[in-house]
């Protein structure tokens, strides 16, 4: 708004300057540059100011401007990937129809095999890969080239083509975007890891009956450690199936090892489900050409204690080959489910401990808590009596801490039983999770498995049954462990695993399931007693 007026200056400059400074508080503002002391027309510019507006230096005004600026200049948030967008749940009818149509519920005779099948039927893209590459994989592994659909319904090998296809679809391949392929492969890989661990554990325990588990773990790592797996894949000429568009030798180690490890584990998971553990040994030592006597597979040198005790006759002065381990079948009237493995873990000299104080005072209480001996219908009553005697000796060995007789008798402790018990409980827990959670991916199952069979929890399950009181320590170690649970708890974990190893060698895998899920309640599903 412009105003035009004429001023007659009858006042002094001082008064004009004072009037200028005093006029700053009024809405009418006069520019001093336009003022002149000569009588002429002066243009005065006036700006209308909102009386409700805050002053320019007011803190409230600054905060208001800052809030306005943030509101209009906030960066755009990235859109989350499609797989993490939550979808509304299916209604009960659609969910039931989806599970009923799933191949995972198609095999009632083989629940574990059925749980590892894909969650939906294979589509045309899957069948294209099968037609193009499956014959090459079968030829490299030494299997007949005919489709596995030709087998009968009661033969688990009928699903081998499907499982073999899933085994090669590692997380970085082009088919991994399909949910049924990605989930099926991860579940097979989850199972195959524990199958390999148990198979090599049994093999080395029988091949080296005097060796402690420490060197055996080094041998296992030298054969199936992830840094050595690309060599075995290349030896079997399977690298083109794992990396169809890349040359494996020129890839970086971080890009090469994870897919190879995933395929290797899934491959043995599929073989175990369809053909059993003997076929796992054949593929390991015949197809991949693993040599347990190779120089790079030998454990590091360490101080060895002199072993003055005997070993079973079948282990004396010879090393068992993988063919003998794979094709071994126990006799009809065998005392145990795995007689040779029991003899490899329990030395013959254990009979010298019969009749000691632990045998009279502690063994009946331990057997009552564990539900032993199990009722078995044997043709000869003497077989039942002999099995119960050997079971009592094995329990005494499972509760015998290495501090007691380790230096005089290196195998008179629970170390070998603990080794096989750790591997069998891992496999049993993996099978349980696979059959219980049909729609869970392998990564979730691995985390769940780790949380259930964690070492500190295994010892807690044993202590909940008050069985830690019966562990046999040396006097010096017992005094050190009495008020130090950080030293004592690992020993209870080892005893827990040794009990599972003894259960597996004497009664087989079903009794390990009974101990884990009925006696010790690994999944913590049974109601707890409330004590006041």
Domains defined along the chain, listed by start? 101-297 (1.10.1520.10), 328-519 (1.10.1520.10)
**What pLDDT, on a 0 to 100 scale, did the predictor assign at position 188?**
96
Q: Are 172 and 246 in contact (CB under 8 A)?
A: no
Return the closest-CA partner of residue 473 out of 455, 495, 454, 458: 495
Alpha-carbon dihedral angle through residues 54, 59, 62, 67, given to the nearest 10 degrees: -110
**At 43, which helix (H) or strand (E)?**
strand 42-45
Q: Alpha helices of 276-413 — where are they, by DSSP H?
A: 277-282, 322-327, 339-345, 357-361, 363-370, 381-398, 402-405
pLDDT score of 290 more than 50: yes
User: Where do we find the tokens 């008050």?
Assistant: 466
**What pLDDT, on a 0 to 100 scale, did the predictor assign at position 217?**
95
Confidence category of residue 27, pLDDT binned at 50, 70, 90: very low
- For the stretch 237-281, pLDDT in tens is 999 999 988 888 888 998 999 999 999 999 999 999 999 999 999
Q: Please tell me the least confidently modeled range out of 45-49, 65-69, 423-427, 491-495.
A: 45-49
Spatial separation of the C-alpha atoms in residues 414 and 396, rounded to whole Å: 9
Q: Are 115 and 163 in contact (CB under 8 A)?
A: no
Confidence category of residue 70, pLDDT binned at 50, 70, 90: low
Spatial separation of the C-alpha atoms in residues 232 and 100, rounded to whole Å: 40
Residue 30 or 365, more confident: 365
Spatial separation of the C-alpha atoms in residues 368 and 366, rounded to whole Å: 5
**What pLDDT, on a 0 to 100 scale, did the predictor assign at position 130?**
92
Q: Per the omega criterion (within 30 degrees of 0), is the bond before 350 cis?
A: no
Spatial separation of the C-alpha atoms in residues 35 and 251, rounded to whole Å: 83
Q: pTM for this structure?
A: 0.80
Confidence category of residue 447, pLDDT binned at 50, 70, 90: very high
Residue 25 or 453, more confident: 453
Q: Please tell me the least confidently modeled range out of 101-115, 200-214, 340-354.
A: 101-115
**What pLDDT, on a 0 to 100 scale, did the predictor assign at position 399?**
96
For 444-463, the three-class secondary structure string (H helix, E strand, C coil) is HHHHHHHHHCCHHHHHHHHH
Q: List phi, psi (to 5°) of 136.
A: -65, -40
Residue 425 or 439, more confident: 425
Average pLDDT of the segment spanning 307-326? 89
Sign of CA dihedral 341, 344, 350, 351: positive
**What pLDDT, on a 0 to 100 scale, did the predictor assign at position 85?**
59
Spatial separation of the C-alpha atoms in residues 360 and 367, rounded to whole Å: 12
**What pLDDT, on a 0 to 100 scale, did the predictor assign at position 293?**
92
**How many other C-beta atoms can be found within 10 angstroms of the C-beta atom of residue 220?**
21
Average pLDDT of the segment spanning 363-371? 96
**What pLDDT, on a 0 to 100 scale, did the predictor assign at position 392?**
94
Encode 354-373: b = buried (16+ Cβ within 10 Å), e = exposed. eeeebeeebbeebeeebebb
Q: Are 267 and 189 in contact (CB under 8 A)?
A: no
**Would you give the distance in Å from CA 519 to the centre of its chain?**
24
User: Where do we find the tokens 């007691």?
Assistant: 404
**How many other C-beta atoms can be found within 10 angstroms of the C-beta atom of residue 190?**
25
Return the closest-CA partner of residue 444 out of 227, 292, 436, 235: 436
pLDDT score of 485 more than 90: no
Residue 488 or 7, more confident: 488
Spatial separation of the C-alpha atoms in residues 313 and 281, rounded to whole Å: 24
- For the stretch 79-119, pLDDT in tens is 666 665 566 777 778 777 776 777 777 777 888 999 999 98
pLDDT score of 352 more than 90: no
Q: Please tell me the least confidently modeled range out of 18-32, 143-157, 513-527.
A: 18-32
Spatial separation of the C-alpha atoms in residues 52 and 1, rounded to whole Å: 20
**What pLDDT, on a 0 to 100 scale, did the predictor assign at position 86?**
64
**What pLDDT, on a 0 to 100 scale, did the predictor assign at position 207?**
94
**What pLDDT, on a 0 to 100 scale, did the predictor assign at position 9?**
47
Confidence category of residue 493, pLDDT binned at 50, 70, 90: very high
| Nearby residues of 92 by Cβ (< 8 Å), 6 or more positions away | none
pLDDT score of 518 more than 60: yes
**What pLDDT, on a 0 to 100 scale, did the predictor assign at position 31?**
52
Q: List phi, psi (to 5°) of 271.
A: -65, -40
User: Where do we find the tokens 């099926």?
Assistant: 184
Return the closest-CA partner of residue 420 out of 500, 521, 480, 316: 500
Return the closest-CA partner of residue 344 out of 221, 443, 213: 213
**What pLDDT, on a 0 to 100 scale, did the predictor assign at position 94?**
77
**What pLDDT, on a 0 to 100 scale, did the predictor assign at position 2?**
46
Average pLDDT of the segment spanning 143-156? 89
Alpha-carbon dihedral angle through residues 433, 437, 443, 449, given to the nearest 10 degrees: -20
- For the stretch 399-433, pLDDT in tens is 999 999 988 888 889 999 999 999 999 999 999 99
Q: Are 111 and 513 in contact (CB under 8 A)?
A: no
Q: State what percent of residues in the chain have pLDDT above 90.
A: 56
pLDDT score of 210 more than 50: yes
Confidence category of residue 532, pLDDT binned at 50, 70, 90: low
Name the 3-class secondary structure at 153. coil
What is the average pLDDT value for the chain, to the nearest integer?
Answer: 85
Return the closest-CA partner of residue 500 out of 458, 439, 532: 458
Average pLDDT of the segment spanning 494-516? 96
């Amino acid at each position: 708004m412009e105003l035009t007026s004429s001023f007659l200056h009858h006042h002094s400059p001082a008064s004009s300057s004072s009037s200028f400074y005093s006029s700053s508080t009024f809405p009418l503002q006069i520019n001093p540059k336009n003022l002149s002391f000569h009588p002429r027309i002066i243009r005065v510019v006036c700006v209308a100011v909102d009386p409700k507006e805050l002053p320019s230096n007011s803190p409230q005004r600054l905060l208001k401007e800052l809030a306005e600026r943030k509101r209009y200049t906030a960066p755009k948030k990235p859109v989350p990937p499609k797989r993490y967008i939550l979808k509304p749940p299916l209604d009960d009818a659609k969910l039931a129809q989806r599970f009923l149509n799933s191949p995972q519920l198609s095999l009632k005779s083989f629940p574990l095999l059925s749980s590892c099948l894909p969650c939906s039927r294979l589509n045309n893209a899957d069948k294209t890969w099968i037609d193009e590459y499956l014959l090459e994989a079968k030829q490299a592994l030494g299997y007949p080239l005919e489709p596995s659909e030709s087998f009968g319904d009661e033969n688990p090998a009928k699903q081998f083509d499907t499982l073999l296809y899933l085994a090669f679809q590692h997380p970085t391949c082009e088919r991994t975007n399909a949910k049924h392929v990605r989930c099926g492969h991860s579940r097979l890989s989850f199972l195959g890891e524990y199958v390999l661990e148990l198979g090599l554990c049994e093999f080395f325990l029988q091949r080296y009956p005097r060796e402690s588990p420490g060197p055996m773990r080094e041998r296992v790592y030298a054969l199936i450690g992830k840094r050595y797996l690309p060599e075995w894949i290349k030896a079997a000429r399977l690298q083109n199936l794992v990396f169809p568009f890349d040359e494996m030798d020129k890839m970086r180690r971080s890009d090469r090892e994870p897919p190879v490890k995933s395929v290797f584990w899934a491959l043995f998971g599929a073989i175990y489900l369809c053909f059993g553990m003997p076929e796992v040994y054949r593929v390991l030592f015949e197809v991949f050409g693993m040599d347990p006597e190779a120089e790079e597979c030998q454990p590091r040198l360490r101080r060895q204690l002199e072993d003055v005790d005997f070993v079973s006759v079948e282990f004396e002065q010879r090393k068992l080959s993988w063919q003998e381990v794979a094709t071994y079948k126990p006799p009809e009237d065998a005392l145990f489910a795995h007689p040779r493995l029991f003899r490899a873990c329990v030395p013959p000299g254990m009979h010298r401990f019969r009749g000691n104080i632990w045998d009279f005072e502690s063994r009946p209480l331990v057997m009552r808590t564990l539900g032993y001996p199990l009722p078995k219908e044997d043709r000869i009553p003497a077989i039942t009596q002999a099995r119960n005697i050997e079971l009592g000796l094995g329990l005494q060995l499972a509760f015998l801490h290495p501090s007691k007789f380790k230096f005089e008798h290196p195998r008179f402790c629970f170390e070998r039983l603990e080794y096989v018990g750790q591997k069998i409980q891992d496999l049993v827990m993996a099978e349980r999770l696979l059959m219980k959670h049909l729609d869970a991916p392998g990564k979730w199952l691995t985390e769940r498995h780790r949380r259930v069979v964690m070492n500190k929890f295994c010892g807690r399950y044993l202590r909940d049954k008050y069985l830690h009181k019966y562990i046999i320590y040396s006097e010096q170690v017992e005094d050190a462990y009495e008020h130090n649970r950080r030293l004592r708890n690992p020993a209870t974990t080892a005893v827990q695993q040794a009990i599972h190893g003894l259960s597996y060698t004497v009664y087989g895998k079903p009794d390990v399931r009974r101990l884990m899920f009925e006696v010790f309640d690994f999944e913590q599903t049974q109601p707890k007693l409330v004590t006041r």
